[in-house]
Amino acid sequence: MREIKTVALIGLGAIGSFLASNLHGVLGENLRIVAGGARKERLERDGIVVNGVPFHFRVVAPEEETGYADLAIVITKITGLSQALEDMRRQIGPDTIIMSPLNGVESEERVAAVYGWDRVLYSLARVSVVMDGNQVSYNSSRASIEFGEKYNQEPSERVLAVKHLLESAGIRPVIQPDMEKALWMKFVCNVSENQVGAVLHIPFGAWNASEHANALRLMVAKEVIDIARKKGIDIDDDYAVRQLEQLKKVPYANKPSTLQDIEHGRKTEVEMFAGTVIRLGKETGVPTPLNEFLYHAVRVLEEKNEGII
Ligand X SMILES: CC(C)(CO)C(=O)C(=O)O
Residue 59 vs 235, nearer CB to ligand X: 235
Residue selected from 73, 131, 270, 301 as contacting ligand NDP according to rule CB under 6 A = 131
Binding mask 121-140 for ligand X (x = CB under 6 A): -------x------------
Span of 49-57, 90-98, 121-129, 174-182 interacting with ligand NDP by CB under 6 A: 121-129
Binding mask 148-167 for ligand X (x = CB under 6 A): --------------------
Q: Which does 72 bind (CB under 5 to 8 A by kind): ligand NDP, ligand X, none?
A: none
Q: Which does 83 bind (CB under 5 to 8 A by kind): ligand X, ligand NDP, none?
A: ligand NDP
Counting contacts by CB under 6 A, is residue 11 touching ligand NDP? yes
Span of 79-87, 172-180, 186-194, 219-227 interacting with ligand X by CB under 6 A: 186-194
Residue selected from 6, 22, 76, 176 as contacting ligand NDP according to rule CB under 6 A = 76
Residues 6+ apart with CB under 8 A from 273: 103, 104, 190, 191, 194, 195, 258, 291, 294
Residues that bind ligand X (CB under 6 A): 103, 128, 189-190, 193-194, 256-257
